[in-house]
Each structure stands twice: as C-alpha cells, then as structure tokens.
Amino acid sequence: MKPCFSVILLFGTTLFLLFQGCTARRTDSASIRVRWAHDPETIDPLQLTNQMALDAASLLHLSLMQIDLSTGEFAAALVEGPPTTRLLGDSLMQLSYRLRPGAQWDGGLPVLASDVAFTLRLMFCPGLPNETPRLRFNFIRRLIPDPADPRHFKLECRGQSPEYVQASGDFFILSEAALDPQHSLRRFSLADLQARPVSATPDTALEAVGRRYRNMPPDQLPGCGPYRLAAWEKDRYLTFRRKPRWWADRLRAAPFVLRARPVQLDFLIIPDATTASLALQRGELDVFPQVPAREFARLRTLPAAKAALAFYSRASYDVVTVAFNTRRPALADALTRRALSRCFDAAGLLQATQLGEGQRSVGIISPTDRRYYNDSLAPVPFDPAGAAALLHQAGWQRAADQSRGWFRPGPHGEREALQLRVRYRANESMFATIALQFQAAAAGLGIAVALQPTESGVLSETLRQGDFDLCIRTLKGNPFMFNFMPLLHSHAVGAGNITGFGTPASDRLLEAMEAANLPVHKAVLLRRFQAMMQTEAPMIPLFFLPTRIAADRRLRGLHVSGLKPGYTAAGIERLPTASVP
Amino acid sequence: MVRTALAVLVLASGLFLLSRADTDTALRLALPNAPDYGGRASASLAQEAAAQTALRQRLGLHLPLFYIGRGVGPASHAVRWQWHGTANQYHLWAGRLLHGDLGTSFRTGAAVAPRLRAALAITLPLTGTAAVLAVVLAFALAQRLAARPRWHAAVRAALAAVQAMPLFMVSLLLLLVFANPEVLAWFPAYGLAQLTATGAAAVGQYLARLVLPIAALTLTALPELTLQLEAALARELRTDYATTARAKGLAESAIIRHHALRNALLPTLTQLVELLPALVAGAVVVEVVFALPGTGRLLAEASAARDYPVLLGGVLLVGAVRSFALLLADLLYFWADPRIRWQP
Amino acid sequence: MATLTRLWLRWPRGLALGWLAVVVLVAALAPYLPLPYAPAVPDLACVAQPPLGPGAHWLGTNPQGQDVLSNLVFGARTAVVLTVPAAVLAALLGAVLGGAAGFWGNAGRVPAAGGLLAGGAAWWALGGPAAGWALAVAAVGAVGCVAAARGHVRGLPTWPVPLDAVVVSTAAAVDTVPRLVLVVALAAVAQVSLPGLLLVLVLTSWPHPARLVRAQMLQVRALPFVEAARAAGLPAGRVWLRHALPHAVQPLRTALPLSIAGLLALESTLSFLGIGLPPDTASWGRLLASAREAPSAWWVFLFPGACLALTVLSLSALASQNHAPTRKA
C-alpha cells in the first residue's frame, strides 16, 4: 500500500532526526543561558516598560550611577564617584558629577557632558515615546557644563529632596554624535523643551532627530555598555555578545558595576515555568530566575536536579498588598477597612502560595530592613469574629434575613450596602488564590464579593479611574528610597495614589519623610508612618515575596540578592566541571 | 469568493469601530503600569495629562471615529449628528489597509505586518504539516476501514473517543504525558529557541519541538475526516458498479482505490474546506499550550492585552485563509467531478 | 439475531441517555447536594492533594486548593446552564431566520407605509438632522398603515425585501472567521460575563441551523399541502408559522445534540484560555486549565477530562442514532 509505505518512511526519518535532537544533554555551551518569562517588547532606553527591558538595556548602556547588587547600594558607573551636593536657597539643589576619563563610545569618542545634556534633551523631545522619563526626570531643571572640563557638569534640581541625589544618576546615557551629529538639539534649552506645549508647531530639527531615533534598529543604537545585541528573535531569544575591546577593561581597579565576564549571554523566552524547569534539568538552560514556589520545592527533592543545580532564595523587596478604594462611601472609614483586613488569612496564604518562604509584615517596609521596620507592631491576624465586631462598631448592621448582607445608614440618609468588587491581574494564580480566600471568608460573614481578574493593560486604567473596591497587587520596592508621596499623598490622587487616601496629618508626615536627611530622624518618622498605616489601613500588606533562583551548579558570580533582577548577569562565569566540589 | 472577502472586510470594520470605543486602554498600554513607589518624583497631574495628550496624538486617537458621529454642535448645545469628512480614524485605517499597512501595535509600537509575518512563519509549517498529515492519514485509514477488517469496530470506537475530546484536552494530554519530566520526557515542550544551529541537530530540534503540536492538531482533525470518508466509501461500495467490479474478480482494496474513492470524495471536499480555517483556529489553543510564538498565540495575547491593530490584522488574515480555502475547494470540485465541468 | 441487533442498536443509545441524565440531574441538584466544600473556596492547607487524602477531598484538590469533586458538580451545572439555552436559542433564531429566508426568498414585500413609519420614527429617535421632517414622514406612514388595516384603500405601494440574500450574506459573514477566533476577538472588545457569553455564543452559532432549516424549507414550500393552504386563502404568515415551519425544523433534531456538544467544547476551550466566565464560576475547562500548573497532578486532568469526553461522546451518539442505522453485521 503505497500511502502507508510513504507514511512509514516519513515517520522513520522523523524518529531518526528526533534522536539527534533529543540526545542533547548537558551541553558545555560557552554562553550563559538565562530564562525570561516574556519578550521585553522593546529595549529602547526611553521606553523601558518591564524588568526584562531594563536588564537588556543595562547590558547595552551605562548610566551615571548603577545599583551594585553585591553591596545593595548605588555605585558610580560612568562617573568617578557619588555627586557632591550643594543646596541653593530653599528650593534648588546642585549635584556635581565628573565622568570617568576613560569612558568612551565604540568609535573611540569620549563620553562627555554634552552626551548627558543631549540625553536629557532627548527625554523631552516631542514625537518620541519618552512619556515615562518625562515624568521621572522632570525635577532636573538644567545641566550646567563646565567650560574648563568637558567631563565635569552640574545638574540643577527643582527641590531639595535627598531622593533626587540617587534618582539623578539613574538614566542611560546616549551618544550625541551618533543620534544628532549636527547638534541640532543644542539650540533648545532643557527648560524650553520641558515647557513646550503639545500643540506647538512642529520644529523640523526636532522632528528630524525624533525620526532618526525612532528609525534606528535596536541593535544599532550605540551604547557604552559592555555588550552589543547580536541577535533578537521576537518571543524566542536575545543574544548579547561581549565587546572585545571595551573601555572599562583598561581600568586598573574596575568597580563591580563595570565588570562583565560572560563572552555571550543568551536570554531564552520560555513563558511556561514547567517547561523552563525541564529545560534547566536537561542542561539547555543555565539560570532560571523567579522560580515558582512549588517548582522550586519539587526540584529540590529530585536527586538528579540536586546534584546538577544550585538553589538560592533571598528575601526580596516586593510586597503583596491589598489596596482599598477609600473614595467609595462603604470604605471611607478606617474601621471598615480594618475589619476587612481581618478577613485575609495572610499566614495561610503565605503557606499555600509560597510554601512558607517569604515574610509577613506590618507595613510596606521590608522586615529585613532593621533600621526602619517597626517591630513593636504586630501583623494583622486572621480573625473573622473580630472583623464582625469591628463592622458593628463602624455602624454596619446585618439585614434581617442573613443572606441580604450588611447595611448601614449613610450620611445623607440613604442605605449603604457592603458589596465589594476585587480587581487583580489576570493569569496570576497567587492573586486568584488570595481573592478566592477573601471571597470565602467574606461569604462566611455574609458579605457579597465579586471577583474581576483584569488584563494588565486594562488594569492600570481602571485603577486610576477608581473603578474598583479592593485591588490585589504587588508593590515593587527597594531599600534606598522611602518616598511614599506618589503612593499615598493627596496630591497624587488620580495618578499613583489609587486608594484616594490623604488626610492633612498623613500628608504632613509624608512630606516630612521626603525631606528628612538624617537616618535617625527618618527612622522615627518611618515608624510613625507604619503605625499610621496600620490604624488607617488604606492598603494592607499581606507578605513579602522571596526571590528564588535555580542555576547550574558550576556557575559563579551570580550575586543573588533581593534587589531586582535578583542576579547579576554580567558577573556570571562558568567553572570547568573538574573544579566543582 | 468576492462575497467572502466583502464579509471579512465588513467584519473587520465592525471590530475596528467597536475597538476604538475603548481608546483609554490603548493609552494605558503605552505607558508602563509597574507601580514603583520608590524613587520616582511625584509627577503633577498636569504633567500626566500632558503626557496623555502627547500619547493620544502619537497614536492617532485624537481624530473622530467615523465619517459621521454624534457630537455637541458648535452653535446649539444639543447632541446632533455631525459629518466629520475624511479626517477620521476609520478612513485612515481603511486607506492604510488598502496600501497593505496594518498599522502599528499599541503594545510595542512596532508595525503589525512584520509581526504577523514572523508569527505566520511559525504557524504555517505547523498547520500545513498537520493538514497534509491529517488528509493523508485519513485517506489511508478510511480505505483500510472500508474493507471491513477485524479491527474495524475498535478503531471506529477509538476515533469516536478522540473526536469527543476538545483540542485543548488532546494537547494537554500529550503535554502531560510526553513532555512531563515525571512521566516521559521525550519531547521538549518549550518554544523555539534554536541556538545550536548545526545542520541535522538543528533540524532535529526543530522537528522535536513541533512533533507534539502537530500530533495534537492531526489527532483532532483526523476522526471527522476518516469517519466521513469511510461512511461515503461504504455507501459507494453498495452501488451497482461496485458489485460488478467484485463480480469481475477485483480485490476489495482495488475496488476502493480505483473506483469508489473518487466518487466518495465529493462530500468529503466540504470537510476539507472547513479543515484549513479550523486548523488556524485550533492553532490558537495549541500554540498557547505549547508556547509557540505563532499567529494563534499572537491573537490570544492581543485579545487579552486589547492590542487592537494586531487583533484586526489577525482576523483579516484568518478571513484571507478562509477565502483561499474556498477557492481551493472550488478548484478541487472542478477537478474531481467531471459533471461540474460539463455543466453550462 | 433480530433481538441482538435491536439490543446492539439500543445499548449505546441507552448508555448515552443515562450519562446525560446523570449530568443534568447533578446539575439541577448541585446546590442541594451534601458536598463537604464549596467549589470556589480554596483549602489553603491542602493544595494539590491526591484523591482520598486527608481533609475529605475525595477526588483531590487542584493547585489552587479547590476541591475537584465540587468543581465537577458545579461545572456540570455551568455547562448545562450555559450550553443548553445557547443551543436552543441559536436553533430558534436560526429556525426563524432560515425559515423566513427559505419561505419568502427574495420575493417578500412590505407595505411602503409601514416602512415609512419605521424609518421616520427611527430617524427621529436617533436625532438625525431635520428631525421634524422625519416626524412628518412617520405621520404619513402611520396614516397609510391605518388606512390599509381598515381596508379603505387598496393597491398601496409595497417595497421589496430581499430577505433571502440578507440572511444568507449575514450567515456567510458570521461564518467567515472560525468561531473560536471570533469569540476571542469579541472578548477583547466587550467585558464578557455569563449572560454576555450566552449572547456571544448565540450570535455566532445561529448560521448552521439557519442553513439547515432554509434548505429544508426550500423543499417543503414546494409540497402540495403548502400550496393548498395558500390557495385556501390563509395569510402567508400563518401558512409559514403553522404549516411549513414545523416540517422545516426536522433537521434540527439531529443538529441540536451536535450543536450542544460543539458549544460545550467551545465553552471549555474559552474557560481554558481564561476568557469568558468569572473566576469563581466552576467550569470543567477551568479545572483542566489548572492542571497545567501542576503537571504531576493527574487527578486534576483525569476526572474533568473524562466527564467532558463522556458528555460529548454521549451527545454525538444521540445525534448519530437519530439517523437511520446503516450498520451491517
């Protein structure tokens, strides 16, 4: 039967080729292969929308100051040292930087203050996707170059917050010679560009620069970082190759942030965690960051995986929180919010979703931060009876037939009903578990809860519009900056303050915290802040997440830390098998 | 075929108009949503509003939606219909479409057409191979079944059982059995990340990655084709000319192959017409389960992320495939049945 | 031998009917069954537990901690509540549209007065320009309708309505894109909830029954009894509704179980992809989707998968048994 024969032949060839492919076991590849959960979409330094894009951009470009994961502090990268601060009057601050003498672009041209000025101007150039840097760096008023030294410059900031010191160095520097050889952007001052209205007549020079920037392919955007983008297959992989002659190699005592060991870095995009774990076990992957809790625990029990892999777990600064929309009449008073906070079984959820790793907290400041964590407060317990008592205290009464829910008379005489809608990002099983547990506990009390998993794109918009009652989300933090004004200040309502919370007392406390210089003073204020948060409860912290990384045992130099991304890609080196204990 | 093309355009236009009613999500997509409380200076509301307006202009969302629309009149304050002329989003979109420009994605800002092309390069081998394999296997199996061997009832029952399982169940089953480290980790299940591109090994890896998805698609398409063809063949084998052939001494398999098959094909052709668009739809599920970056997953992700240009591009593409399938079916009918050729 | 043949024919059908009866019964009695756990409540202490483990989880729990047994029971309820009405409504809509298209073809006519009335009223309601003139046109149409109803004036103009072309084109348009793609695309545009999902399913499923009924109606309207009814002077609408349509919906008897099976598969696929129903609604597809998170939890795949496969198989068996048996011994 001819058709059957050809089919058999086809199958036979397929099987033969399959064997070739399947027998690839632990390959000693020269490159370090890291797993990413999804494509970075764009690695434009002006438009970094997710952590992966940030990681990619930090391999290709350098900023003035960068986070050093080995110490957990900001360290000088392109500049020689931390800036010197000078306060002018009571509203301005000057930060003085000096770029390293050896810093150069690939062609040999040095990195100068004019490049920094160009980058700042580019952030406010119309027609570019630079909406985020506009918001972040609006506090920089101008760059004052030094006529005597082209590498020395001063940044003048509007405001005197100590947070600006670290924020001012945290942007990637782009090359003026490559993007604007005619220096057409120099005609415009930074203040002009910042104040330029959207409806202004388009300027040909600005448009030309914008067009040139937008049309430049991502692998050709010049950067002074240690790697160049060798290949990028959307949704498949990105390959970075080390530049053979990088300027920082010639530095005698290169700081940690200017060291780059791997010759080639491959980031494989594997959305499914289970398949990524399988690839790790087979040796097709070297580093697997953000391992889910169960997969991590399972891998640790497998003997083959235990022998070949090393497992790291650190406390991170990401906290899972539940935010209340205090603009809703039902949630406007603190007693109701405190009552609802007792319906979350944080300890049980921590055990179920993170298998006990991670930490409970009294506020949104990590318990590992001994200086600022308020250990005299106790975390909110899971106490439905206490919640019912608090609801009674807040004036809620249960309806005559128990199934109708809780009611109370409103300020204008109408009847308020306690019916809640919970929003959270879809496709996250941790948020789904938390929401379901809250729904079950609330149903035990007789409160009707509706769950609304929302796609990430729609979620931020609905949060800003206030179209929610509770919102479960993860707040990403860091140990440097404790400026909670974008999160809880009444001026930020409609922007970052989705809870709508803001009393004069809390506003004063937040402003004082932003202005505080001395650590002692700051500690006192932060303790008061955590106590206030627990009393007012505009958002409840559930627990801090751990960061888990599983990697090939032979890799060194990962410097796993709680800070994002959790490991230093540029510091990894692979030891030969013989020398591994 | 013209009617199908027109229908596709109308459908796409409808989706376009419906989607633009939701422009705020597009704005939110282009601005990052990671709430970072540390280290960001508080941006004033005015700055945020300015950023939003700039974004709206950049994405072209400030123009009116259609040729006519409701709006507040300049003189009166009553809501009335207004003629917006050609400076509206629909006209721009339609014009760009005729030039082959499918717009730019809201999510990435990159052009939609190259993204679709890259995704098609993954999906076409997948669905094409599955279609060819399904047809070949269906033909072979139906011919063997029509001869009523002993295992006829068992195979028919197995096919009915497979037909009862939705595609996602079959894919999940294959994934959990053949790509599960705890059961049989024969096949890698992750998406295509070929880095060791060395000849036979690369081809082998590529094939290994595609085996499970192709198997899932083929297994779901096979039962219906086979059972239909087998029923048609059984019907043909009871006709007079088949009895004559049997009386002449031909073997059963020869009768099936040379005489009955051609006549039994006609009703199956309708099934074949449905096959290609069904595989394109099935690719949505298979690509999500096996994490292949093809058009199906692109569609599902665009739907979840409200990335309307990509979504519309995908729908248009699927409609084009449907038109192509109908054309192919017409040609096949023409070739298969001489009676149609001779009809006036 | 004849008895054996009869039993052989009845046996799969009996099994299928029995299983479907079990599903429908379970779905109807779901809120009253003494299940130890509610379907959406996660048991935080017993996550991803095998069957017959501690904690009275007889069929185990899924990686979210939800009890598999109660999810199966309430998933059956969701399936029955969603797919059966959707199939019936789609069949109704398809029967009406297909029947009308088949009966009148492109030769239907509508009195011009009625058209004027409807058009004028709509224009005025939507607030189009020159709304006052539209109101006048509507008034003229109303007068004409009243006159025609009273029978005072004969020979009023009528407008042709190409019903057949419209219905066939719309059906073709809806059928152009595969149903899954269409629903996925629509889910992006609209927030889908249970009634919304029902509407979307009905709107994408009516072309098939419409085509079947139209094809049958084309045959039925040529039959002598229809001609006799028209010759007897019965109004066309009555002939269509009381005489022709009951015969034209015959093909739907076999199409309905298949349509329910198809909708069930579609609903499970949508739940699997995470589109459509809210997350606290139990569904077999959602349970199967959670199997991806814990590949070693075979019980999360086996039980809902078996239920789904058996139900679709039973429905297909029902549909095929309605055909004249072609089995040979």
Residues of chain A with C-beta less than 8 angstroms from the C-beta of C66: 436
CA dihedral in degrees (A51, A53, A58, A61; nearest 10)? -150
Would you call B315 and C273 a contact, using CB atoms and an 8 Å cutoff?
no
**A429 vs B: CB within 8 A:** no
The two structure tokens encoding residue A558 = 């990962």
Average pLDDT over every residue of B274-293: 79
Tally of CB atoms within 10 A around A56: 26
Would you call B168 and C268 a contact, using CB atoms and an 8 Å cutoff?
yes
Three-state DSSP at A30 gives: coil
Average pLDDT over every residue of B186-214: 64
The answer, yes or no, to whether residue B44 has pLDDT greater than 60, is no
Residue C21 pLDDT: 94
Residue A172 pLDDT: 92
Q: What is the sign of the dihedral through the CA atoms of B296, B298, B303 and B308?
A: negative
Q: Contact, A40 vs A50, CB < 8 A?
A: yes
Q: What are the two backbone dihedrals, phi and then psi, of residue C35, each rounded to the nearest 5 degrees?
A: -85, 140
Give residue-wise pLDDT tens across range B103-121: 777 666 677 888 888 888 8
More confident position, A133 or B65: A133
* Domain C60-311 fold: MetI-like fold (1.10.3720)
More confident position, B271 or B165: B165
Angle of helix C207-220 relative to helix C252-273, nearest 10 degrees, comes to 170
CA distance A346 to A379: 9
Residue C10 pLDDT: 67
Buried b (16+ CB within 10 A) or exposed e, B123-157: beebbebbbebbbbbbbbbbbbbbeeeeeeeeeee
Q: Hey, where are the domains in chain C?
A: 60-311
Taking CA–CA distances from B172, the nearest residue in chain C reads: C292
**C65 vs A: CB within 8 A:** yes
| pTM recorded for the entire structure | 0.79
Q: How confident is the model at residue C325 (pLDDT cuts 50, 70, 90)?
A: very low
Residue B35 pLDDT: 37
Average pLDDT, consecutive stretches of 10 residues, N- to C-terminus, chain A (581 residues): 60 61 53 87 82 90 89 87 88 90 89 92 84 80 91 88 83 89 88 81 85 85 90 84 90 87 89 79 87 88 89 91 92 92 93 89 88 89 93 87 78 84 86 93 90 76 84 85 80 80 90 80 90 93 93 89 85 74 50
Average pLDDT over every residue of C62-73: 90
CA distance C143 to B71: 34
User: Which residues 411-450 of A are in CB contact (within 8 Å) with C?
Assistant: 426-427, 429, 432-433, 435-437, 439-440, 450
Residue A323 pLDDT: 94
Residues of chain C with C-beta less than 8 angstroms from the C-beta of B172: 288, 291-292, 301, 305
Average pLDDT over every residue of B20-32: 55
Residue B36 pLDDT: 37
**What are the strands, taking DSSP E only, across chain C?**
108-111, 158-161
**C292 vs A: CB within 8 A:** yes
Taking CA–CA distances from C187, the nearest residue in chain A reads: A455
Residue A7 pLDDT: 62
Q: Contact, A469 vs A421, CB < 8 A?
A: yes
CA distance A67 to A127: 30
User: Which residues 247-266 of C are in CB contact (within 8 Å) with B?
Assistant: 261, 265
Residue A95 pLDDT: 92
Residue B34 pLDDT: 36
Give residue-wise pLDDT tens across range B225-246: 888 888 888 888 888 888 888 8
CA distance A514 to A512: 5
Q: Please give the mean pLDDT across all residues of chain B.
A: 74
Three-state DSSP at A47 gives: coil
The two structure tokens encoding residue A238 = 């990105």
Residue labelled with tokens 């499923």: C205
Which of C41, C274, C292 lies at the smallest CB-CB distance from A440?
A: C41
**A348 vs C: CB within 8 A:** yes
Residues of chain A with C-beta less than 8 angstroms from the C-beta of B57: 198
Q: Contact, A137 vs A206, CB < 8 A?
A: no
Give residue-wise pLDDT tens across range B217-228: 999 889 888 888
